Amino acid sequence: MYPIVYADVLAARARLRPFFDPSPVRHYPQLDELVGYGIRVLVKHENHLPTGSFKVRNGTASITALSPEAAARGVIAATTGNHGLGLAWAGAQRRVSVTICVPKGNNPEKNAVIRSLGATLLEVGDRYDETVVACRELAEREGRTLIHSTNHREVIAGAGTMTAEFLEQAPQLDAVVIALGGGSQAVGAAVVADTLRPALQLYAVQSAGAPAQHDAYRDGQPRAGVPVATFAEGVATGSTYELTAGALRHALADFVLASDNAIAQAVRDLWRITHNLAEGAGAAGLAGLRLLAPRLAGRTGGSVICGGTLDGARAGEVVSGGTRTSGARA
């Protein structure tokens, strides 16, 4: 059913504990008013973790699980941002060599941070799919461990630590709305909920401009290379993944699509109310919660700011009232 078990999440939590504290959970009464329907909204601030994203959990869980021999050979990954940042940060903590492959023309701000953390950054391929192929070839040639952003058991275990924390910090949670790109966060959450809170309802949200995972959830058919057009890079996924696709169909109470306009408005609402600048994917949880609000009336709903790495140019555009759709894939 699931690619990991709860014991894997517990093991990941133990390995992560020396590196960073749990991210905070906060209640903002103005968000309750915004969402309406008598819903109490609790926000999990994954944007307060090192690198500003939940994916530092995934990277740290993966690198700390390496054998001494694998750690000596180093790791490699393809990314357009947060996955690479998480691995680069974790590699710096453990002194493990990290190579990150990004598409040509990738976000220069994220490239700069990855390099500053000591990782080797290679711009290969005009599109993300080409970057993935080049990364796989380099992994085989150099003997590095390839850490996929989704199709990797330790990545999913690391992502599951977020929900384990959330349930400890907010035992009154009735539902959690999770932005979904590859699905590691949602599948990790399902594994935890099955053990700690079977009644917890898990919902996913993706951009309407990148519906591959949503459509596969609906019809059970895998997707690959579906065009995407959204500014929310973290949910701009055009494919399904072996380790998460089937699990998502079993785990989720529902899966909704939010427009880029709704996601951009959620960025602005979070900035206005919480004074946290969320990236598109980081605000998608709130956008999804607003869509689901009639079904969650009178309950306690969790919204995860899964990342806050919005680049300066797009931040100015979105906060000032606009949104420029992008064809980038995260």
Average of pLDDT values for 318-324? 83
Apex 175 CA angle, 330 and 261, nearest 5: 45
pLDDT bin (cut points 50, 70, 90) of residue 127 is confident
pTM score, whole prediction: 0.95
How far is 225 from 248, CA to CA, in rounded Å? 19
Residues 142 and 165 in one domain: no
The answer to whether the beta carbons of residues 285 and 47 sit under 8 Å apart is no
Position 217 in a domain:
yes
Residues 115 and 241 in one domain: no
What is the per-residue pLDDT across 208-220, written as a single tens digit (0 to 9) for each? 999 999 999 999 9
Residues 236 and 267 in one domain: yes
How far is 245 from 65, CA to CA, in rounded Å? 24
What local confidence, expressed as pLDDT, does residue 329 receive?
A: 41
What CATH number corresponds to the domain at position 100? 3.40.50.1100
What local confidence, expressed as pLDDT, does residue 216 receive?
A: 98
Torsion of CA 260, 261, 266, 267, to 10 degrees: 70
What is the per-residue pLDDT across 21-50, written as a single tens digit (0 to 9) for each? 999 999 999 999 999 999 999 999 999 999
How far is 275 from 286, CA to CA, in rounded Å? 15
Mean pLDDT of the chain: 95
- Cα→Cα distances 310→51, 109, 169, Å: 12, 10, 27
How far is 205 from 215, CA to CA, in rounded Å? 12
What local confidence, expressed as pLDDT, does residue 204 receive?
A: 98
Q: How many domains does the chain have?
A: 2
pLDDT higher than 90, residue 168: yes
Residues 244 and 198 in one domain: yes
Position 327 in a domain:
no
What is the per-residue pLDDT across 91-125, written as a single tens digit (0 to 9) for each? 999 999 999 999 998 889 999 999 999 999 999 98
Apex 232 CA angle, 231 and 234, nearest 5: 140
pLDDT bin (cut points 50, 70, 90) of residue 145 is very high
pLDDT higher than 90, residue 77: yes
Residues 120 and 172 in one domain: no
What is the per-residue pLDDT across 259-279, written as a single tens digit (0 to 9) for each? 999 999 999 999 999 999 999
